[in-house]
């Protein structure tokens, strides 16, 4: 459905993201190639969730690593050898992620006798439970993507330097988030398995230990971003002005990385307990009741774009505090679906 809706609208979507400018033909081509792989992307999510539910994250790591490493080698071949440019990069990413998904399906069948494409009669009661848990998760994912688009739109109003600075920040936080995603996935799996055995004390112990790990990783990450902001910025650009701007922006927002891992722990705990409606509330509150409105007001009153970074970091902190509050309420321990 997403492919059908976005494919013909790609020029308008890219134009909106580009502050009203006409998007180049290669950008449209790149997006449309990526869009063709959307169905396989959703199947990839199903495969990854299955392995995490089983608890076999080791095999999942090999599967994801296969796709990532293949992409590193295939990218230059498609882009330069075959002279496809950015469209080749999009095609390489799509092919590698699809190959990774197929490998995951094969290993799930071989190791665990789980055939993910097997026809199964879906019972109405199960469908209701899937929608109750999956519905808020889907909206939550869409919300985060829309939030990212809105932030790009706001930063683009400050000009090229601000937009490029924000780009370096997002790449840095996305890289750091991979660790948090792994922590979140582990907590979700262990909490879900513990509650499935009706062992609520074990589930709470998982949260407590996960919080300790999250705090430790958060302290290390924040300190590393603050201390090594200039080398990190230099990885993405050699332009002195951009490196200086991005370096200051990273230091200014470094405390947000600490709270990001706390929010990962909260998310993992709540999702493991089936409380996806709580995680959706957290993202709506932190993004649309605070982050985007405050950023918009700051732009109206001509605050610098570094102040927008402070708002982003504070919104992450807000989300982490709300997440901990939701966990403290202990509704997730009931595992009611």
- What's the pLDDT at 1? 63
pLDDT tens digits along 278-335:
999 999 999 999 999 999 999 999 899 999 999 999 999 999 999 999 999 989 988 6
Q: Would you call 119 exposed, middle or buried from its count of C-beta atoms within 10 A (0-12, 13-18, 19+)?
A: exposed
pLDDT at 27 over 80: no
Give the separation between CA 36 and CA 54, rounded to whole angstroms.
30
Query: Phi/psi at 82 (nearest 5 deg)?
Result: -90, -5
Q: Are residues 278 and 296 in the same domain?
A: yes
Q: Are residues 106 and 49 in the same domain?
A: yes
Q: Are residues 140 and 16 in the same domain?
A: no
Q: Are residues 110 and 155 in the same domain?
A: no
157 DSSP 8-state letter: T
Higher per-residue pLDDT: 41 or 95: 95
Q: Are residues 128 and 109 in the same domain?
A: no
Query: Average pLDDT, whole number, for the chain?
Result: 87
Mean pLDDT, residues 154-171:
92
Q: Are residues 74 and 126 in the same domain?
A: no
Q: Are residues 147 and 92 in the same domain?
A: no
- Which of the listed residues 120, 149, 165 is the one where a domain comes to its end? 120
- Which of the listed residues 94, 120, 146 is the one where a domain comes to its end? 120
Domain range enclosing 38: 1-120
Give the separation between CA 327 and CA 296, rounded to whole angstroms.
31
Mean pLDDT, residues 109-122:
78
Q: Are residues 282 and 195 in the same domain?
A: yes
pLDDT tens digits along 36-46:
888 888 788 78
Does this model's pTM top 0.85?
Answer: no
pLDDT tens digits along 165-218:
999 999 899 889 889 988 998 898 889 889 988 899 999 999 999 999 999 999
pLDDT tens digits along 222-231:
999 999 999 9
Higher per-residue pLDDT: 145 or 266: 266
Query: In 10 A of CB 130, how many CB atoms?
Result: 12
- What's the pLDDT at 102? 93
Give the separation between CA 195 and CA 333, rounded to whole angstroms.
7
- What's the pLDDT at 98? 92
Mean pLDDT, residues 108-120:
80
pLDDT at 120 over 70: no
- What's the pLDDT at 189? 85
Contact of 309 with 249, CB cutoff 8 Å? yes
Query: Phi/psi at 114 (nearest 5 deg)?
Result: -110, 110
Mean pLDDT, residues 246-250:
96
Q: How many CA atoms lie within 13 A of 7 on its CB side?
A: 12
Q: Are residues 294 and 176 in the same domain?
A: yes
pLDDT tier, 122 (very low <50, low <70, confident <90, very high otherwise) = low
pLDDT at 81 over 70: yes
Q: Are residues 226 and 267 in the same domain?
A: yes
pLDDT tier, 25 (very low <50, low <70, confident <90, very high otherwise) = low
Q: Are residues 196 and 72 in the same domain?
A: no
Most confident segment among 4-8, 9-13, 159-163, 256-260 = 256-260
Question: How many angstroms separate the Cα of 323 from the Cα of each of 37, 204, 277, 278, 286?
Answer: 33, 15, 12, 8, 10
Lowest mean pLDDT among 43-57, 82-96, 201-215: 43-57
How many domains in the chain?
Answer: 2
Mean pLDDT, residues 18-45:
72
pLDDT at 19 over 50: no
Higher per-residue pLDDT: 138 or 62: 62
Q: Are residues 262 and 291 in the same domain?
A: yes
Mean pLDDT, residues 107-114:
89
Maximum C-alpha span of the chain: 60
From start to end of 146-275, where are the E strands? none
- What's the pLDDT at 337? 53
- Which of the listed residues 74, 104, 120 is the one where a domain comes to its end? 120
Mean pLDDT, residues 17-28:
57
Higher per-residue pLDDT: 123 or 156: 156
Q: How many residues does the chain have?
A: 337
Q: Burial code of 199-228, b = ≥16 C-beta within 10 A, e = fewer?
A: ebeebbebbeebbeebeebbeebbeebeee
């Amino acid at each position: 459905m997403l492919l059908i809706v976005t494919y013909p609208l790609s020029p308008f979507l890219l134009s909106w993201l580009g502050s009203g400018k006409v998007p180049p033909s290669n950008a449209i081509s790149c997006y449309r190639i990526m869009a063709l792989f959307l169905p396989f992307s959703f199947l990839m999510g199903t495969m990854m969730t299955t392995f995490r539910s089983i608890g076999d994250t080791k095999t999942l790591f090999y599967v994801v690593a296969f796709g990532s490493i293949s992409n590193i080698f295939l990218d230059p071949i498609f882009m330069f050898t075959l002279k496809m440019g950015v469209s080749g990069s999009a095609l390489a990413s799509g092919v590698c992620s699809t190959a990774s998904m197929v490998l995951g399906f094969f290993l799930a069948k071989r190791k665990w006798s789980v055939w993910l494409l097997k026809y199964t009669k879906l019972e109405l009661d199960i469908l209701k439970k899937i929608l109750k848990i999956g519905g808020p998760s889907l909206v939550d994912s869409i919300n985060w993507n829309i939030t990212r688009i809105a932030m790009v739109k706001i930063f683009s109003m400050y000009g090229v330097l601000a937009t490029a600075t924000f780009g370096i920040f997002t790449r840095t936080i996305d890289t750091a988030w991979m660790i948090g995603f792994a922590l979140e996935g582990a907590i979700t799996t262990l909490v879900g398995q513990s509650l499935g055995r009706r062992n609520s004390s074990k589930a709470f112990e998982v949260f407590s230990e996960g919080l300790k790990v999250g705090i430790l990783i958060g302290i290390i990450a924040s300190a590393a971003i603050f201390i090594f902001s200039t080398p990190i910025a230099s990885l993405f650009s050699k332009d002195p002005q951009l490196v200086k701007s991005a370096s200051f922006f990273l230091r200014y927002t470094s405390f947000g990385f600490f709270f990001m891992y706390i929010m990962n722990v909260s998310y993992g705990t709540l999702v493991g307990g089936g409380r996806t409606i709580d995680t959706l509330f957290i993202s709506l509150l932190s993004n649309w009741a605070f982050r985007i409105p405050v950023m918009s007001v700051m732009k109206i009153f001509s605050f610098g774009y570094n102040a927008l970074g402070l708002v982003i970091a504070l919104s992450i902190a807000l989300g982490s505090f709300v997440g901990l509050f939701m966990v403290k309420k202990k509704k997730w321990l009931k595992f009611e679906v």
